[in-house]
Chains A and B, each alone.
Chain A
């Protein structure tokens, strides 16, 4: 199975800061990568699919990039409601696998 790693595992930033999370795949996955946001007590919510496509209804401050093995999720201006854990997930080959998560909070 393809392994995904994320960095950092947690971060603390100020409101309005630009925040970037990295996801690395153990082998090339083209652009078959998604990003999810999960708040406590809720299921994961899809933010980005196909590495850079914004899911309908997701604020434009979220963006994704990368291909092959290295990917990024960027929040252009961190908002208080963005406090959550973020996960990457690959769909290039079965089984689908998830990264371990990056916890984001407000400084």
Chain B
């Protein structure tokens, strides 16, 4: 049974960097049949996919176009975790942030395991 545990600050100042970490237990960040995603949720934007990292003989990343210039998602195999870094934040980045496992099987891909969520507020 996979468990995703998120950590990071709940308050970030405008123009600074939002940093969150997701610890994985019960699975491996390097598993070939999974990808590791960040999704956020706000009343104004709903559920919004931000990006993912995954291993297929080497590491890959995909990012949502609207944040592509500001986002980095990194795996850490030594700690079996992955992280989100979102630079130059504005109040529009205020949201609940989730780390999510994307499980990939013959039946297709699905977001089957979610972290507990962290409310990140961007405010001075």
Given A43-B98, A44-B114, A95-B64, CB of A50 within 8 Å of CB of B47: no
Count of B residues near A, CB < 8 Å? 18
Count of A residues near B, CB < 8 Å? 23
Identify B109's interface contact among A53, A91, A100, CB under 8 A. Answer: A91
Describe A's contact surface by its main secondary structure: loop
Q: Which residues of A contact B49 (CB under 8 A)?
A: 95-98
Structural contact, B109 and A46, CB atoms closer than 8 A: no
Q: List 19 A-B contacts (CB under 8 A).
A: A32-B108, A36-B111, A42-B117, A44-B47, A45-B114, A46-B110, A49-B110, A50-B107, A53-B107, A55-B110, A87-B47, A89-B111, A91-B109, A91-B110, A94-B62, A95-B65, A96-B49, A98-B47, A98-B49
A interface residues (Cβ-Cβ under 8 A, vs B): 31-32, 34, 36, 42-46, 49-50, 53, 55, 87, 89, 91, 94-98, 100-101
